[in-house]
Amino acid sequence: MKVLIVDDSKLSATSLSRGVMRVVPDSDCQIALSGTEALEICDRDVIDVVFLDIEMPGINGLDLAKRLKVQFPETNVVFVTGYPEYALDAWGTQASAFLVKPASEDDIQRALDQLRSPVARHYDTGLFIRCFGNFEVFYNHSPVRFERQQTKELLAYLVDRRNALVSTGELMAVLWEGMPDTASRRSQLRTLISDLRRTMEGLGYPNLVVKQRGGIAVNLNYRECDYYAYMRGIPGAVNSYKGEYMRQYSWAEPTAALLGT
């Protein structure tokens, strides 16, 4: 997670930075002492969350939030101020949260739990599976390349089933829709499963694909997948769903319909 703290008081900014680092130890936290400096940082880097003071010389926090909304619409803004009377104006900028100084670690955590835009879009270090829009898999910010396109589709279907055990027969019907169940295709399926397990092991996830008698499943948590985060009701993930789910796969349409209800 990339965080920018904007406050004309270096002491306040440093204190808040320490709090953020305690809540999210692996975050990349920068400090800007003015609105102009903040815009320069956002121009050259992708920032997930801006913790923003309001009373600042030059570009004040409210005006900066409006500019961020136009120039960087997926960047989340969290106001942190000593002036609670600004709360109504702050909400008018579509901020994710409004904190009163001094912000505690619990305050910071609550703010991060209700972000309007998902931090997941930048794929924190490690594995991230995106289901909204086209199905894609990322590792350390880069797309994962599969040896076979059907290997990717196999993973997509297992993800769609949400950690449930999927039988060989079901996978055959999905991956070779309308085609007969033959020994040759079963052999192809075994190759795809081996390819998927080998790919995940190569990324450092040897236990992601669970193979049991009668079928296989994936072992994902909500932090590794936008769909799973959505089903958990994580605000950022809920806001990230724009009506499209695994759009390259026709078998995903029932889930897309359920998400749209």
Residue 119's nearest CA partner among 203, 192, 45, 46 is: 46
Asked whether the whole model's pTM tops 0.75, one would answer: no
2-117 adopts what CATH topology?
Rossmann fold (3.40.50)
**Which residues have a Cβ under 8 Å from the Cβ of 157 and sit 6 or more positions away?**
166, 171, 174, 175, 249, 251
Domains 2-117 and 127-259 share a fold: no
pLDDT for the residue numbered 218: 94
Q: What is the H or E stretch that residue 198 is in? A: helix 183-202
Highest averaged pLDDT of the listed ranges 39-53, 140-154, 186-200, 212-226: 186-200
Cis peptide before 254 (omega within 30 of 0): no
State the CATH architecture for 127-259.
Orthogonal Bundle (1.10)
Domain segments of the chain as ranges? 2-117, 127-259
Across the strands, what pairs with 80? Answer: 99
Tens of pLDDT, residues 169-209? 999 999 999 899 899 999 999 999 999 999 999 999 998 99
Highest averaged pLDDT of the listed ranges 37-51, 75-89, 112-126, 164-178: 164-178
Provide the residue type at 19 as one letter: G
Q: Is the pLDDT of residue 90 over 70?
A: no
